[in-house]
Structure 1
Amino acid sequence: MWYRNHEPEMFAKIHQVIGTKDYCNYRFTGRLCTDASYASGSGVFNLHTWQYEADYIRAAGLDASLFPEILSSDAVIGTLTEEAARETGLNPATKVMAGGVDNSCMALGAGGIRAGEVYTSLGSSAWIALIDDKPILDFQRKPYVFAHLIPGLYTSATCIFSAGNSYRWVRDTLCMDLLQHEKETGVNAYVQMDKLAATSVPGSNGVCFNPSLAGGSMLEPSPFICGAFAGLQLGHTRADLIRAAMEGIALNLRVALDLLQSYSPVTRDMLIVGGGAKSPFWMQLFADIYHLPIVKTNIDQEAASLGAAALALKGTGLWSDYQPISQLHQVERRYQPQEETALFYQEKILPRFRQLTQLLGVF
């Protein structure tokens, strides 16, 4: 609609609007199509019928022909064109699946193959997702909702825009010597940061960090919120700031978890995937701040890739269903909340974090 109103000459040239993976599929096969997970982000998708809603399209003043055919995520849309086979060196008989949007691929790869599954994705951004047979629809707080890759399921999520990104900023800004040490010795700077953070104490000696360095999501009081360290004194150390950053990201996700729990209580272990799951120290922080057992498996940050691969395996008939995903997740470690520390975070630190967030929303 923005292009129609502001770039009418370009808009007039549009045949269909497709997603990035759909464009790749088009170049591979010559077929224009999408899947329900991608279509569910179009703004004209009916989450109940899993089809485009004609009334929404008419209300937007758009032509229905702009929207591509919707197929199952694991549908074979075709094989390679002669040009694609020649350019890639792949066999022309190679089958191409419809595929799915990244969030839904991660939901599948994280083991979300049935209603009730929940996981935290701890990457550059971060979210907590619930897999259910009903979408979470809240027009005030607006959690994200995507059609799952498995028909009849939905991925509903609360999120923060900057998690690993904020922690990377701390590394690049406050720990440049550790980065140099990594280049010289190969010792990962994040591992050294874990060790420094462990020398501080729960609550980081009074330092509180809000990680909203990329603006606010639906959780925050303003989309323009900025991040901050608060409570700094001359006696604070770099270790306090590092730990405060790790705590702040986990606390922000605890706020996201509390919102998700207002819709559907989370009573089971929390699987964490993504690059952040590689840090044992951080996983224990999450167990204490979430006040839930945390599970770390061998999949780590490959959950979305596993979900995409699973579509190909089922679409080509090598798998009859998605049950093997559960078997591929091998639990490497469980982290239990330390009750005294968990209560300290819940009763003392979380309220301070919430207060800081409100102040930053009007700063």
Structure 2
Amino acid sequence: MAGHLTLGVDIGTTNVKASILDTQSGKIVAFGSQEHPLFHPHPGWAEQDADNYWSAVVSAIRQCLEQGNFAADIAGVALSGLVGVTLPVNDKGKPLRRAMIWMDSRSEEECSDIRATIGEGVINRNNGNRVAPWFIDPKALWIKKHEPHTFDATHKFLSPSGYCTFRLCGNFTMNMGDAGLAYAFEYQKERWNEQVADAIGIPIDKFPKLFHSHEQVGEVTQKAAEETGLRVGTIVAAGGTDISSAALGVGVTKAGEAFYSMGTGSNIGIMIPTEQTLDEFRILKWPHVLPGLTMFDAPMAFTGASLKWYRDHFGQSESRIADRMAGNVFDLFTEQARQIPPCSNGLMYLPYLGNSLAPNWNSNATGVFFGVQPTTGRETMIRALIEGVAFDLLSNFRIAESAGAQIDNLVLNGGPTKSRLWNQITANVVNRPLKVPDIGEAAPIGDAILAGVAAGIYDDPTAPLNQIVSIKETIDPDPEAHKRYAEFFEIWLSVYQNLKDDMDRHRDFLKRYGS
């Protein structure tokens, strides 16, 4: 007999997180997480092993199940995950190579081929997006050109959540959100467009069957039950993208609301009606987990990754202190940054440690500190890192508004948003109140809600939100700090534009000398 619990699992870029939701109380009763590796075999390449996704999913689920006698009462499970991932599998579901993830930028030539053969305008109209290596198709064409045996053997291209959903129920599926990152997906009609797929050169049958996020796609198999500890026959839902599931998890469900998710990378997702046409392609569009809503979404690659980079290479002393005190090393960093005034004494940071996503879409972009002076110290660099990430957000914020997107509310979620200083800097830079929900990891909560709909517990994904979501704090911007940031931001924009050509030359140099 199906119970009153549901399970949500989110596959992030470096970490899998799982939550068990008690649908009667609206409370999370168990949580688990497990890191998984990211590989950079060459400059601009970013790959992950699909079996590492599954191992981390299994670990996170088992951590949850070890916290109580839950398995028999879990009625449904749903997974979400990182998007823009190209993972080829054979007809048995076996991965044929490592997944090429969203930050992989090797397929620039394939992007040029798409523009030359089908035209970027056709992609814009059909899929609502630009042509860039971030998407599934250019990476698939790279495989077709450089690894033709792999392409020919590919039965389906799956997303990370689609692969792990297959491991759970044995069916090849794709939710609408993941499909939004494939150019053959006609986003305003929620269907595959065979003519576009053929023109690109990727047969339409290499894409899985489409499902809405709350729809049932199968049941947990005997093998999956043995691996995960879940009950055989537990309902499996289609799930969503990591950002759209997280938006549901914090209650962002209406046009005009916006969600800022911060993790290794970050996204500003603005809800627009699917029928609304916005002719702006520096910001992405893909379906929300709620039918009828589209996320006007700007991904940014190096948010938490910027501070992690600093930790790994310059933060050894803080790491040792945090280990001795059983504290959080990032709290030590932000406490240092708190001593520095807005605009970091003139130091600015371009957060492009490998490439730039929205709005620049520059695979040759590189990280930059500009304005170093004899007095520049560690604490100044840390604050500049945080401010640089906020400026990247502001650049997308302005473009979205100028395109006609309405932004009434901005809700935060993710690891860096646990820092009061980081949130205040963000509010000051964008000059908007930021709402911080009283909730943990939002994406697995959104997934758990979707699982509840598939299992018949909820009639609608929005039904339980009043019970689950509350706002614990609203952070108001400081007008004086914003005025200062607005002036500094114009210089920040100019620095990038002035260095853009030199970044191209720099990448060419690295390619020629094998660095």
Give TM-score, length-normalised by structure 2: 0.66
Q: Deviations over 1:9-30 (max 9, x none)?
A: 3333333333232222223222
Q: Give the Cα separation in 1 of the matches to 2:144 and 2:374.
A: 55
Alignment pair present for 1:196 and 2:346: no
Q: Tell me if the contact between 1:111 and 1:117 (Cα under 8 Å) persists in the aligned partners.
A: no
Indicate the residue corresponding to 2:495 in structure 1: 356
Indicate the residue corresponding to 2:448 in structure 1: 309
Q: Give the Cα separation in 2 of the matches to 1:131 and 1:317.
A: 26
Q: Give the Cα separation in 2 of the matches to 1:49 and 1:334.
A: 37
CA shift in 2, pair 1:7/1:213, >3 Å = closer
Structure 1: runs of 5+ lacking an equivalent: none
User: Which of 412, 416, 423 does residue 272 from structure 1 map onto?
Assistant: 412
Q: Deviations over 1:269-307 (max 9, x none)?
A: 42111111100011111111111111111225x111111
Q: Give the Cα separation in 1 of the matches to 2:406 and 2:482.
A: 16
Q: Tell me if the contact between 2:257 and 2:407 (Cα under 8 Å) persists in the aligned partners.
A: no
Q: Give the Cα separation in 1 of the matches to 2:274 and 2:217.
A: 28
SS class of match (1:362): helix
- After superposition, residues 56-205 of structure 1 pair within 5 angstroms as 56-134=196-274, 141-205=281-345
Indicate the residue corresponding to 1:344 in structure 2: 484
Greater alpha carbon shift after TM alignment, 350-359 vs 57-66 = 57-66
Greater alpha carbon shift after TM alignment, 117-126 vs 11-20 = 11-20
Q: Tell me if the contact between 1:137 and 1:143 (Cα under 8 Å) persists in the aligned partners.
A: no
- After superposition, residues 25-40 of structure 1 pair within 5 angstroms as 25-40=165-180
User: Which of 14, 30, 55 does residue 195 from structure 2 map onto?
Assistant: 55
Q: Give the Cα separation in 2 of the matches to 1:336 and 1:77.
A: 43
Deviation at 1:209, TM superposition (A): 1.4
CA shift in 2, pair 1:167/1:319, >3 Å = same
CA shift in 2, pair 1:316/1:353, >3 Å = same
Q: Give the Cα separation in 1 of the matches to 2:450 and 2:353.
A: 35
Indicate the residue corresponding to 1:22 in structure 2: 162
Deviation at 1:310, TM superposition (A): 1.1
Q: Tell me if the contact between 2:272 and 2:293 (Cα under 8 Å) persists in the aligned partners.
A: yes
Q: Tell me if the contact between 1:162 and 1:211 (Cα under 8 Å) persists in the aligned partners.
A: yes
Give TM-score, length-normalised by structure 1: 0.92
Deviation at 1:120, TM superposition (A): 0.9
Deviation at 1:239, TM superposition (A): 2.0
Q: Tell me if the contact between 1:216 and 1:223 (Cα under 8 Å) persists in the aligned partners.
A: yes
Indicate the residue corresponding to 2:461 in structure 1: 322
Deviation at 1:254, TM superposition (A): 0.8
Q: Deviations over 1:134-193 (max 9, x none)?
A: 377667743211112111111111132111101222233333211110011123222122
- The letter of the residue matching 1:68 is P
Q: Give the Cα separation in 2 of the matches to 1:360 and 1:149.
A: 39
Q: Give the Cα separation in 2 of the matches to 1:256 and 1:4.
A: 33
Indicate the residue corresponding to 1:297 in structure 2: 437
RMSD (Å), alpha carbons? 2.1
Question: Identity, % of aligned pairs?
Answer: 27
User: How many corresponding residue pairs?
Assistant: 361
CA shift in 2, pair 1:220/1:77, >3 Å = closer
Q: Tell me if the contact between 1:227 and 1:360 (Cα under 8 Å) persists in the aligned partners.
A: no
CA shift in 2, pair 1:197/1:85, >3 Å = closer
User: Which of 357, 363, 378 does residue 217 from structure 1 map onto?
Assistant: 357
- The letter of the residue matching 1:36 is M
SS class of match (1:319): coil
CA shift in 2, pair 1:77/1:204, >3 Å = same
Q: Give the Cα separation in 2 of the matches to 1:42 and 1:283.
A: 33
Q: Tell me if the contact between 2:270 and 2:297 (Cα under 8 Å) persists in the aligned partners.
A: yes
- The letter of the residue matching 2:461 is Y
Q: Tell me if the contact between 2:283 and 2:396 (Cα under 8 Å) persists in the aligned partners.
A: no
Q: Tell me if the contact between 2:243 and 2:261 (Cα under 8 Å) persists in the aligned partners.
A: no
Q: Give the Cα separation in 1 of the matches to 2:152 and 2:456.
A: 41
CA shift in 2, pair 1:17/1:173, >3 Å = closer
Q: Give the Cα separation in 2 of the matches to 1:298 and 1:304.
A: 14
